[in-house]
Structure 1
Amino acid sequence: MKNQEETLEEWCRTLLQAFELEDTQIDIDGVLSLAGVAAHSVVRPAAPLTTFVAGLAAGLAAGSGQADQKTSMDAAMALARKLSKEYTAAEPGTAESGAVGSGTAETDAG
Structure 2
Amino acid sequence: MNDKKLYNTREMQRRVDDYISQFKEGYFSPLSMLARFTEEVGELAREVNHQYGEKPKKASEEENTIEDELGDLLFVAMSFANSLDIDIAQAFDKSMSKIETRDKNRWTRKTDLEDDKND
Instruction: Report the TM-score range of the alignment, normalised by the length of the smaller protein.
Output: under 0.3
TM-score by length of 2: 0.26
TM-score by length of 1: 0.28
Q: Which has the higher helix share?
A: 2
**Greater gyration radius:** 2
